[in-house]
Amino acid sequence: MSGKGAPAIVMEAVHKWFGEFHVLKGIDLEVAEQQKVVICGPSGSGKSTLIRCINALEDYQQGRIVVDGIEVTKDVKNVEAIRREVGMVFQQFNLFPHLTVLENLILAPMHVRHMPRKEAEELAMQLLERVKIPEQAHKYPGQLSGGQQQRVAIARALCMKPKIMLFDEPTSALDPEMIKEVLDVMVELAEAGMTMVVVTHEMGFAKSVADYIVFMDEGEIVEIAPPSTFFTSPKSERTRLFLSQILHH
Amino acid sequence: MAVAERGRSPALLPPVSERLGPLAWLKRNLFSTWYNSLLTILVGYLLYVVLVPFFEWAILNATFFGDSKEACDFDGACWALITSRLGQYLYGLYPVAERWRVNAAFLLLILAMVPLFLPRFRHRLLYACGLVFLYPPVAYLFFAGGVFGLPFVETAQWGGLFLTLVIAGVGITASLPIGVLLALGRRSEMPVIRALCVVFIEVIRGVPLVTILFMASVMLPLFLPPGVTIDKLLRALIGVALFASAYMAEVVRGGLQGIPKGQYEAAMALGLGYWQMMGYVVLPQALRMVIPGIVNTFIGLFKDTALVTIIGLYDLLGMSRFIIQDPKWLGLAAESYLFAGFGFWVFCFAMSRYSMYVEKVLSAGERR
Ligand SMILES: Nc1ncnc2c1ncn2[C@@H]1O[C@H](COP(=O)(O)OP(=O)(O)OP(=O)(O)O)[C@@H](O)[C@H]1O
Ligand SMILES: [Mg+2]
């Protein structure tokens, strides 16, 4: 896969608490430009919390996160700068139901990037081509299937021309027959050289795309390994247990 | 082009339910069982007892034109009161020669609102905001005059339906934006702002409008430095607007609570700032959800404006009270109040129908 470039995301000893509850217990992670990282782990292990810290949807209490050279702080300017560079795709799509697909796509480019409407619409149509649903541009999200909605969500994030894309279980809410159409789009995106952090249990995707896989449990990173060794010879017992559970499903 | 594609693809119409003849309809809906028949007959009898005399009084035996009570039949309604004093019901004591100004200002408003109903007009919200800020001063120039050779008409002379519409219009246009701000403030993460909004909303909602109007008309002047006076109408307007805003805030808050967290997160992740997120993503959905509540508040407000009578303003209700004190028309309270009630009803009913129409259009556009 791609060689190691400049660091896109750096997390150093990140700790986070929800009240008394210690969710992230000293996370160290580095993602280089163009690298693809898959994060997996049992439910409640803090995967979502971790990637939501990267674009400041969650704050953290200790440690340091630097994204694209900008430190993630509570400062509004920093947060806005980071969110312009980082796209995010959610498990529940979170499309804006009162706007058409096209309007969903052009909203942020027009109002955050101050792109003229026409230019934004052209860009949006290009991206809808890329996710293979240009014919749905004028429908409302509620009129699309789950797989189509998730592809719109990916296109919406790409419309901001992000340098980094975060995916939080993008296929978990989908019916099995729709998972592939979304994964295909993600694979294509990976091949085009996007820096990606993906929380997923789609191990096929992880095997073929990830530069390395991060296994989390109880707020800690238990193991980081490239797919070649992660699946065949995991070092930790917890990883082995987890793999045996999900691979036999 | 977004608009043109919205129509549903030509699907088959649902089968027309079998057509019922009038007799079959009667049987099915009114006489299906013995107790249903009994109820129908009972209700029919009550309607007969009440409506027939009313109809005789209001229409058959009524007198529609005349100069004074003497022209009217004793056993019928004396609508001559309304027809001969209609100008006062509509404009209060506004000078007759200047009434065209009121008409012109309302006509101007209707014309200015036309673009809002054009389906292809894109900057509707911006335009509406502009209208909210620009129209009131223009209307004030028309109503009050004193410039451009228009004689000055003091607010004490404004009255009738005209005044009711002014108060309700100001209340309605002020309450929505202020209510939205209060609702957002109440959910704000900044404790000071949140506390201020909560206190304001809870204090205003805990007090009857009459009290606020009394305070505005009696107490406010006590706090002002001597020599400074605020127009009585202006005080009433402020009172009504604040009152309506507090109610509106709670309606809007209900809508805000109905927006899933994911919508906020998606908007934030796209880099939208707070006001952009609220303006483009959250409020359009939240307000749409609570249209019935908003219109309800508008209707309540419209009727509540009648309370300004108590502080000596002559709105539609105040005017109908004032007119029947004229010795020529003494004792015609029923006709006068009935007419005022009818005036309020027409506007409230229209608002309610319009909101149903808007809901239908919106839910046709967006199918989840
Ligand atoms: N806003 C919150 N307040 C309090 N606790 C929270 C909050 N969000 C998450 N948690 C807790 O933090 C822990 C980690 O949550 P997180 O959503 O990061 O897990 P996850 O690994 O993404 O799990 P899943 O696979 O189910 O999505 C969970 O125990 C969860 O209950
Ligand atoms: Mg999660």
Question: pLDDT tens digits, residue range A201-248?
Answer: 988 999 999 999 999 999 999 999 998 888 888 888 888 888 888 776
Interface of B with A in 265-304 (CB under 8 A): 265-273, 276, 280-281, 284-285, 288
CB contacts < 8 A, A to B, total: 80
Which carries the bigger pLDDT value, residue A1 or residue B320? B320
Quickly name the fold that domain B80-94+153-366 has: MetI-like fold (1.10.3720)
Question: Which range (A186-195, B216-225, B278-287) has the least confidence?
Answer: B216-225
The token duo for B126 is: 């911006």
Contact at 8 Å (CB) between A40 and A47? yes
pLDDT category at A4 given cuts 50, 70, 90 is low
pLDDT for the residue numbered A28: 92
| Residue linked to tokens 């160290």 | A28
Residue-level pLDDT at A96: 94
The arithmetic mean of pLDDT across residues A152-174, rounded, is 92
Q: Do B368 and A142 touch (CB under 8 A)?
A: yes
The tens digit of pLDDT for each residue in B141-162 reads 888 877 887 788 787 788 888 8
In this complex, the residue of A84, A86, A143 whose CB is nearest that of residue B367 is A143
pLDDT tens-digit profile of B180-212? 999 999 988 889 999 999 999 999 888 888 888
How large is the greatest C-alpha to C-alpha distance in chain A, in angstroms?
55
Higher-confidence residue of B75 and A115: namely A115
Query: Using a CB-CB distance cutoff of 8 angstroms, which residues of chain B are in contact with residue A98?
Result: 284-285, 288, 366
Q: Tell me whether residues B271 and A92 touch, CB distance under 8 A.
A: no
Domain boundaries, chain B: 24-60, 80-94+153-366
Instruction: Write the CB contacts of B2 (distance below 8 Å, at least 6 apart in sequence).
Output: A100, A102, A103, A138
**Side chain identity at B200, as an amino acid letter?**
F
Which of B32-41, B111-120, B177-186 tops mean pLDDT?
Answer: B177-186
Count of CB atoms within 10 A of residue B59's CB? Answer: 12
Indicate yes or no: CB of A140 within 8 angstroms of CB of B262: no
Per-residue model confidence (pLDDT) at position B29: 78
pLDDT in tens, B205-233: 888 888 888 888 777 777 777 777 777 88
* pLDDT for residue A88: 95
Segment B13-32, tens digit of pLDDT: 665 566 667 778 877 777 77
**Contact assignment for A138 to B5 by CB distance below 8 Å:** yes
The CA distances from residue B351 to B44, B128, B246, B346, B361, in Å, are 30, 18, 20, 9, 15
The amino acid that residue A209 corresponds to is V
Q: Which member of B6, B263, B271 has the closest CB to residue A96?
A: B263
Query: Distances in Å between the alpha carbon of A166 and those of A32, A57, A162?
Result: 14, 12, 10
Please answer yes or no on whether A140 and B285 come within 8 Å at the CB atom.
no
Mutation probe of ligand 1 site: the residue of A48, A51, A92, A168 with most atoms within 8 A of C-beta: A48
CB-nearest to A83 from B1, B4, B268 is: B268
pTM of the model: 0.82
Enter the tokens of residue B122.
Answer: 């894109």
pLDDT of residue B7: 45
What pLDDT, on a 0 to 100 scale, did the predictor assign at position B364?
63
Asked if pLDDT for residue A5 goes beyond 80, the answer is no
Question: What was the pLDDT predicted at A66?
Answer: 92
- Contact list in B for residue A94 (CB cut-off 8 A) is 260, 262-263, 265-266
Cross-chain residue pair A140–B365, CB shorter than 8 Å: yes
Kindly state the average pLDDT of the residues B327-346: 82
Q: Residue B75: pLDDT above 90?
A: no
Would you say B279 and A108 are in contact if contact means Cβ atoms under 8 Å apart? no
Per-residue pLDDT, B2: 42
- Please name every residue paired with A195 in a beta bridge, in sequence order, or none if there are none: A164
Mean confidence (pLDDT) of chain B: 82
For residue B308, give every residue at least 6 positions away whose Cβ sits within 8 Å of its Cβ, in sequence order, or none: B163, B167, B213, B236, B240, B315, B318
Residue type, B174: A
Model pLDDT, residue B12: 62
The reported pLDDT for the residue numbered B5 is 44
Residue A189 clears pLDDT 80, i.e. is over it: yes
pLDDT of residue A168: 94
Q: Give me ligand 1 centre to Cα A43, in Å.
A: 8
Q: Which residue of B has its CA nearest to A141?
A: B368
Record: contact B280-A107, CB cut-off 8 A: yes
Q: Which DSSP category does A200 fall into?
A: -
Substitution candidate for ligand 1 out of A25, A49, A201, A222 with most atoms within 8 A of CB: A49
Would the pLDDT of A197 be above 70? yes
Q: Which residues of B touch A100 (CB under 8 A)?
A: 2, 5
Within 6 Å (CB) of ligand 1, which residues are found?
A 18, 21, 23, 41, 43-49
The closest ligand to the CA of B265 turns out to be 1
Mutate to test the interface with A, among B270, B275, B368 (most CBs of A within 10 A): B270
Residue-level pLDDT at B256:
92
